[in-house]
Structure 1
């Protein structure tokens, strides 16, 4: 995926790939790899990829995204039936496909034209036949991608999933469509060795899309409405707000979007976000912190708002707490509040078990903690900061590993503050032991100064003079061996069904799970391995085609179980 290219809506990529001949489809992945190394130039709304000295591929995006196949043009002799157009579309980021196309029919198009139809579509007692068919198409495409794994899910499989996502959107299944696009984006990041790619993120996206499309045809009422989702988050009026800045964090996604989000709180402790996220890379993630926030006429930057306050009138707020920036919103700068002063201090006064319960039950996942730094520990993903939190041994990790962002370096320098008591903000990481990603902290040597871990850079001269202790092995608690099942779930996503079908004996792992009181995990592990290795033969001894649906069901059951077990073990670990 090349962030220099304009995003392309899923329907365009799917149509261009579908138009290729079988011979060209086999060469599509190689064509994408070739185009990825070619120079890119921009001229207004047109982006050009130099295929060779005399041939260019042009992507025309007048509104910032490519929304029609004719907007992708190639100058080679085989155009428009060449490989280059499909390769360029597959190389570009995936655009948000939210507007119904002219001439399309279906619940989404009807809802766009008639508000009453939108209300009827969102409150019907059962899914329509069109929605059931769209859900089955997304489920089948996602199952095929799971069976192939990231190594085998090339551009053709990605295009099939994008086509299914587009069909789901037209049918009003916005949640399934958005999650399917997230799967494609993560698969592309994995295949391109993008530093921002995270395997657990792809596992979560695949679990989400398979779970939603599996359950949707049988759902009714409120459950069905939740599974359908909405095209855009609605914003409701919230009157006047007096907000106090907490911290800012950079945003850098595998989909090619970057920016900054500033978190604020009102006098009651409710959290609100001011975001500035748009297509871009690490440079935009760092630079967005010094841009003025997009709300009202205030000239505050995100970095300044994190330490100041905001008085907002005519505010509009989404269900997740994001502040709208409509024409009727007015905002002016106001004094901020220290983390140790009211009303902000009440966020840290809430008991940790209550904060944890809120995060695990679907609320925001921020934790407001008072800790004492105790050292560092070496882990497979890099060093983590060890801390004591009300008697609990806590591991604090970097929120992002991109080398342009200072998370990892700041975490390493904070190790010099051993024995220092700090007030921090972190994001919960569900794990069998207390674990969170550090987002912001008090300065260890300068009282009253805050440090945004992803934006500010600590200086060694400003830290305590005691040298940091060398990373050691963190004490490993006696944990249930859930990793034996989780490892197989992750391996299936990376290597696909063929990897799990390799000769091997899982009986020892299953026996160990049973010995630790996890018979369900043992059964799921055995069933997953059986589904992967199940290849029947016809009467002539030839292998029959695989059954992606069966493998997907076995994988989904194992993934759902590990996710729920992780939540339960996380709650138990934080309770001491």
Structure 2
């Protein structure tokens, strides 16, 4: 059995079932989840049956694919309903999120913010006592997860965070609730050995939920509105739009969803997207490119829209530029524009450093979800060749201003064309291309390559969907100096990683991992010599907080200061992220 075979379970259901267990059964819960994962599963309509053993079945009734009540999970064992099996099934299943999928299809029933009950009443300038209490509960639960680390944050700790997330959502705090659910999802992926899990992702999620909950008590006005977030993505009317296709990229998520996202631009340079993402993985992503765009009466496919145009009336747009597909939207096919023609040509006229600064504001780890903006860069480059890095190979290119950019694949899935196209382009140093890439925050200029002009100068290439041939490439110019075999990082090195690795080290093993480090004065000296005295102070305070344990008058250890440690860790994580973004922006400045 895998989590994908089970229906989604509402967070409050999981929390209730775990809370109802006796202390003895809670100790056995993690083992029960592991044991249940080895049992066979059968589907019969809205009911999923797990064979606990030869005589006992566990049933999950999930109308619409979601278990919404604790009574919908039943077990046939003698201890039911007070058995551990019901809670184990809920903990093993994916968590249901009432909010729409971030990369999901356009919602034809998307409503305006003013039509939702919780937005019709003018929000006060400060958080209510109930909201502050809910945020404090999320903080405490997330701090406990940080204290224990991935290895110690089992089903019980996850259930506590799910309960806090549910309480936050009831108090109209969808942003902090969604962040808490993201932490639970990543924790489960880490503990299950999911190959798509990355520690950096859990670091960001934990810092986001802790930071949002921490600021809730003191924020007011627009800051408080941003911290509260929105329960649904708002689509605002935008009148009539004349759109020009740019390119189409495949989208494959770790949750098994697949599809495409087509980027279009308006006459003023604003970027919009039209998506079609649903369960199906990479196979669906390849097929969706040739499906009709679900926008008005247009008969264009996504692949065709990336090279054509649209005239839209009654358009609705989300803060991140997604075009809604409601009943009032009308769209007809119109003439597109080449990348070298107005209005698209203006996108490549903005200096790379300015584009990078704008992209960083939208790709920041802790950016406001409703802030909008794009993470795309539009550059004219000259290819230099392939270089090797510790994490693999990338394509080196030079752009205006003397900036050398590393171009990497946007997705390593062998079914997509990204990798093969990049390797083929690397065999033609000296070729000049007009490219579109997604900013990859790093200490050196780095982009995930998404689309480029055709090497022959005719048309464009969607590098994830279209496949270049060797005949499409010009003959390499022997006068072009080849790229170095290894990409040096001189000038891009910073000892900030000394702080970043301690922040990341806490997440897998918890507070104990830092408490046993001992003296870190050598690391702090290196940070100070590099002009980072704040980083040195944060590192010292973080390690001291991890090792500090007070004793009472009889010499017995007192409970650890979980809140104090979480505060020091949060300060270090947010500082490291801010400095990394500043160094990334500086790397894009002309030499």
TM-score normalised by the chain length of structure 2: 0.88
What displacement does 1:436 show? 2.0
SS in 2 for 1:313: strand
Q: Deviations over 1:496-540 (max 9, x none)?
A: 212112234311110001001111010111111111111233344
Q: Which of 446, 450, 457 pairs up with 2:460?
A: 450
Q: Which of 393, 399, 402 pairs up with 2:404?
A: 393
What displacement does 1:477 show? 2.0
Taking a change above 3 Å as real, the CA distance of residues 414 and 113 of structure 1, as seen in their structure-2 partners, is closer
Alignment of 1:432 with 2:443, yes or no, is yes
Distance (whole Å) between structure 1 residues aligned to residue 73 and residue 242 of structure 2: 48
SS in 1 for 2:8: coil
CA contact (8 A) 1:186 1:254 kept: no
Taking a change above 3 Å as real, the CA distance of residues 55 and 165 of structure 1, as seen in their structure-2 partners, is same
Residue of structure 2 equivalent to 1:161:
161
What displacement does 1:435 show? 1.5
Moved more, 161-170 or 12-21: 12-21
What displacement does 1:335 show? 3.2
Residue of structure 1 equivalent to 2:232:
232
CA contact (8 A) 1:196 1:401 kept: no
Residue of structure 1 equivalent to 2:187:
187
**How many pairs align?**
562
Alignment of 1:64 with 2:42, yes or no, is no
What displacement does 1:460 show? 5.6
Alignment of 1:418 with 2:418, yes or no, is no
CA contact (8 A) 2:388 2:394 kept: yes
SS in 2 for 1:204: helix
CA contact (8 A) 2:261 2:274 kept: yes
Q: Which of 484, 492, 501 pairs up with 2:498?
A: 484
Distance (whole Å) between structure 2 residues aligned to residue 278 and residue 72 of structure 1: 27
RMSD between aligned alpha carbons? 2.8
Distance (whole Å) between structure 1 residues aligned to residue 21 and residue 483 of structure 2: 57
What displacement does 1:409 show? 4.1
What displacement does 1:255 show? 4.6
Residue of structure 1 equivalent to 2:220:
220
CA contact (8 A) 1:318 1:324 kept: yes
Moved more, 161-170 or 381-390: 381-390
Alignment of 1:150 with 2:150, yes or no, is yes
Distance (whole Å) between structure 2 residues aligned to residue 123 and residue 143 of structure 1: 28
Taking a change above 3 Å as real, the CA distance of residues 292 and 83 of structure 1, as seen in their structure-2 partners, is farther
What displacement does 1:470 show? 10
Distance (whole Å) between structure 2 residues aligned to residue 542 and residue 408 of structure 1: 59
Residue of structure 1 equivalent to 2:512:
498
Distance (whole Å) between structure 2 residues aligned to residue 32 and residue 409 of structure 1: 41
Taking a change above 3 Å as real, the CA distance of residues 6 and 508 of structure 1, as seen in their structure-2 partners, is same
Distance (whole Å) between structure 1 residues aligned to residue 438 and residue 412 of structure 2: 15
Distance (whole Å) between structure 2 residues aligned to residue 18 and residue 180 of structure 1: 18
Distance (whole Å) between structure 2 residues aligned to residue 55 and residue 460 of structure 1: 61
Alignment of 1:341 with 2:341, yes or no, is yes
CA contact (8 A) 2:118 2:172 kept: no
Residue of structure 2 equivalent to 1:36:
37
Distance (whole Å) between structure 2 residues aligned to residue 441 and residue 193 of structure 1: 36
Q: Deviations over 1:427-470 (max 9, x none)?
A: 112222112222222344x4334333334444566556779x89
Taking a change above 3 Å as real, the CA distance of residues 234 and 535 of structure 1, as seen in their structure-2 partners, is same
Q: Deviations over 1:345-392 (max 9, x none)?
A: 221122222212222333211111111222233333322222112211
CA contact (8 A) 1:185 1:255 kept: no
What displacement does 1:266 show? 1.5
Matches within 5 A, 1:265-344: 265-344=265-344
Q: Which of 374, 377, 384 pairs up with 2:384?
A: 374
What displacement does 1:403 show? 5.1
Moved more, 198-207 or 166-175: 198-207
Taking a change above 3 Å as real, the CA distance of residues 348 and 536 of structure 1, as seen in their structure-2 partners, is same
Distance (whole Å) between structure 1 residues aligned to residue 200 and residue 229 of structure 2: 23
What displacement does 1:193 show? 2.7
Distance (whole Å) between structure 2 residues aligned to residue 448 and residue 28 of structure 1: 61
Distance (whole Å) between structure 2 residues aligned to residue 401 and residue 26 of structure 1: 40
What displacement does 1:476 show? 1.1
Distance (whole Å) between structure 2 residues aligned to residue 36 and residue 451 of structure 1: 44
SS in 2 for 1:207: helix
Taking a change above 3 Å as real, the CA distance of residues 376 and 278 of structure 1, as seen in their structure-2 partners, is same
SS in 2 for 1:264: strand
Residue of structure 1 equivalent to 2:565:
551
Taking a change above 3 Å as real, the CA distance of residues 533 and 540 of structure 1, as seen in their structure-2 partners, is same
TM-score normalised by the chain length of structure 1: 0.90
Matches within 5 A, 1:191-202: 191-202=191-202
CA contact (8 A) 2:33 2:88 kept: yes
What displacement does 1:225 show? 1.0
Distance (whole Å) between structure 2 residues aligned to residue 542 and residue 508 of structure 1: 32
What displacement does 1:256 show? 4.9
Moved more, 484-493 or 514-523: 484-493
Residue of structure 2 equivalent to 1:95:
96
Residue of structure 1 equivalent to 2:589:
575
Q: Which runs of 5+ in 1 are unaligned?
A: 100-111
